[in-house]
Amino acid sequence: MEHPLVAAALALPLPIQIAGLVVGIPLLAIVVNVLRQILVPTDPTAPPVVFHYIPWFGSAAYYGMDPYKFMFECRDKYGDVFTFILLGRRMTVALGPKGNNLSLGGKVSHVSAEDAYTHLTTPVFGKGVVYDCPNDMLMQQKKFIKHGLTTEALQSYAELMPAECQEYFAKELKLSKQNPGPKTVDVLHMMAQLIVLTASRTLQGKEIRDNLSVRFAKLLEDLDKGFTPLNMMFPNLPLPSYRRRDAAQKEMSDFYMSIMAKRRTGEHDHENDMIQALQGSVYRNGTPLTDRDVAHMMIALLMAGQHTSSATSSWFLLHLAHDQDIQQRLYQEQVDNFGNPDGTFRPMTFEDTKKLPIMDSCIRETLRLHAPIHSILRKVLQPIVVPQSLAAPSENVSYVIPKGHIIVAAPGVSQMDPKIWEKAGSWNPLRWLVDGGIAKTANEQYQAGEKVDYGFGAVSKGTESPYQPFGAGRHRCVGEQFAYLQLTLVIGEIVRNFKLTAAQKAIPETNYQTMIVLPLDPKINLEARV
């Protein structure tokens, strides 16, 4: 005998029955999910789970729209360690310097960057390198890169970058003493171009620079479009952007291979670029890097530096346009150190770039407030016991982050934490200056402390610092020195030549829909200094 309710439902017309199922099943799933979170007792060692209505989808919308707002609010509710659901994945966030240490300072046997990132990065970089090889090989690849960034190489880069900027100013901005402007520019677009021009002229090699305006730019764009949060969540979808990503990866990789083949025949015209440094590198076990490996590492370096540095420099210029006092100090620093009596400037050397306190503190402060990477991920390979001093359900019980979770470090949270920084939300480069020098606050802790060699040279462990824009531990950035050089030279060149003013009422909102924390539709006015 059918239940009267079922019988009544079956008596309804078919379209109404279907509509009932379409609405009813998800509704039922939501109700069950909510009741389960409220009524079912949880394992006391499991970190608290962020309340969410929709199963599987979890907190995806909330986290995706504004990860920092999400994390600060969750910290208030749940403490420094909590789990949230992101499209079926269990993400456990560990906040604060101690939380950062848990993942960034974690042992390779406990946490894996490869397992967290490979599905996003391998289709873009290519196989055999970075997160598509054992961790020990990545550490050696980082050593090869560090060896490529010699003082001699960096000195030569300092000579090459300003000319690229000057050419861009003349050809693209078309501003000069005779035609000073002002002109409103999309600062992110401008910086993306200046960063790729200067990186390709130096680190990437002359052949890449020479091809930048033609096919290479299109390939880079297609690769970029394959490096999005969508790709992070769904590595392979039958979409045109995925197919273009794969085609661009192959063509770009082949292009680097052809450069190396040509160079072998003696047909080369390169300076101290990274291709030259990597070619001929040999792993500890005697295996040489193949040309294909080098090609894929070059793509990885291009992707690693492009958006991080263009985002940082864009935020930096936006703040300068809104802060005339700091802009004047920065300009004056250039005049005091490099100004000629006739109003021109002498070029900066690599050594000069390290002695500019105002520039340095502006970069630091921009990276504090706008760390380009908001979430650093690792897959948990073995259960991790959370120290009681970080977060605990009670005095005698500790949280345990289970195997299979993704552990999330968000250094940006400690970098913007009002409990650590005075006026944490304001851009104030002067906070880094003490008596005209560089402050010895968070930075000192960051630079000093225990030194560890993870396989790419001794670095400060720094995993418990509240300031980690370049990460920490074994996956710490090896491009920091290059990034500082590039930012100092490019911004220096802009400040020498232009006066910046605000084109918008306030600093733009942040766009979190991309992998890198970018300003949304950012504009500034540029006027040539006469």
Count of CB atoms situated within 10 Å of the CB of 91: 20
Comparing CB distances to ligand HEM, the nearer of 393 and 522 is: 522
**H/E stretch holding 147:** helix 135-148
CB of 50 to ligand HEM, least distance (A): 23
In the complex, minimum distance from the CB of residue 372 to ligand HEM, in angstroms, rounded to a whole number: 5
Nearest CA to 464 out of 455, 473, 456 is that of: 473
393 vs 492, beta carbon nearer ligand HEM: 492
What is the rounded distance in angstroms from the CA atom of residue 514 to the CA atom of residue 267?
Answer: 40
CA distances from 128 to 124, 125, 224, 379, 465 (A): 12, 9, 20, 20, 32
By beta-carbon distance, which residue lies closest to ligand HEM? 479
Q: What residue ranges bind ligand HEM (CB under 6 A)?
A: 113, 138, 142, 145, 203, 301, 304-305, 308-309, 312, 367, 372-373, 376, 469-471, 475, 477-479, 482-483
What is the C-alpha separation between 212 and 218, in angstroms, rounded?
A: 9
**Which lies closer to ligand HEM via its Cβ, residue 33 or residue 202?**
202
- Smallest gap from Cβ 241 to ligand HEM, in A, equals 24
Question: Which is nearer to ligand HEM, 181 or 449 (by Cβ)?
Answer: 449
Which residue lies nearer to ligand HEM by CB, 86 or 137?
A: 137
| 3-state SS class at 387 | coil
> Nearer Cβ to ligand HEM, position 138 or 208?
138
DSSP 378: E
486 vs 356: CA distance, rounded Å: 14
Whole-Å CA distances, 142 to 60, 87, 123, 148, 514: 33, 32, 20, 10, 26
CB of 207 to ligand HEM, least distance (A): 18
Backbone angles phi, psi at 126, to 5 degrees: 110, 170
**SS3 call for 265:** coil
Say which amino acid occupies 53.
Y
CB 469 → ligand HEM: shortest distance, Å? 5
Rounded to a whole number of angstroms, the minimum distance from the CB of residue 255 to ligand HEM is 19
Q: Min. distance of Cβ 511 from ligand HEM in angstroms?
A: 16
477 is in an annotated binding site: yes
**Which SS3 state, helix, strand or coil, does residue 459 take?**
strand
- Alpha-carbon distance of 464 to 258, in angstroms, equals 44
- CB-nearer residue toward ligand HEM: 142 or 431: 142
308, 134 contact by CB (below 8 A): no
Binding-site residue numbers are 477
Binding-site residue numbers for heme are 477
